[in-house]
Amino acid sequence: MFGTMADSEVHTIKEVSLILDEEQHVLRFWEREFEFLHPKKNESGNRIYDQRDLAILKELKRLIRTERKTIQEARTAFQEAYPSGFVKMPNGNDQACESHDEIASLQQELRDIINKLRS
C-alpha cells in the first residue's frame, strides 16, 4: 500500500500528484487539514515529499476516497491507527499491502467504467 521507494527518494508535488492521481491543490489542502503531514521545502520553497509523506498521503487517500470518510473522520481514523503520526512502512514483499493496492485500483477502474456507462 505504501510503495517501496528508497528512503532517500523524494518527489515534487507534481510527481506526487501523478503518483496518487490527485490534484496538487488537494494535496496542499490535505497538508493544511492534517497537522501530521508536513513535507519539507527545498531551497526554492517548493514542497519535497519523502517516503514517509507519500505513505501518509496514500493512507489519507484510502480513508477519504476509498472509505469515503470526511476530513474529520479521516483525521480521527488516522490518529487512532497511527497515534505517533508515523505510518509503518512495509517492505516490498508485503502481500496485504499489494492486495490492497490492487483492490483500490480495481475499485477505481470499476467506478470509471460505471461513469462511462452512465454518460
Side chain identity, residue 39:
P
Q: Does domain 11-118 have CATH number 1.10.1740.10?
A: no
| DSSP class of 78 | H
- Work out the mean pLDDT of the chain and round it to a whole number: 82
3-class DSSP assignment, residue 41: strand
Of 43 and 98, the one with more pLDDT: 43
Domain map (residue ranges) of the chain: 11-118
What pLDDT score was predicted for residue 33? 95
Lowest mean pLDDT among 15-19, 25-29, 52-56, 64-68: 52-56
Q: Residues 37, 56: contact at Cβ < 8 Å?
A: yes
What pLDDT score was predicted for residue 86? 65
pTM of the model: 0.66
- Tens of pLDDT, residues 76-93: 999 998 887 667 655 443
3-class DSSP assignment, residue 48: strand
| DSSP class of 49 | E
- Tens of pLDDT, residues 1-45: 444 444 568 999 999 999 999 999 999 999 999 988 999 999 999
Residue 89 φ/ψ, nearest 5 degrees: -95, 105
**Per-residue pLDDT averaged across 32-60, rounded?**
93
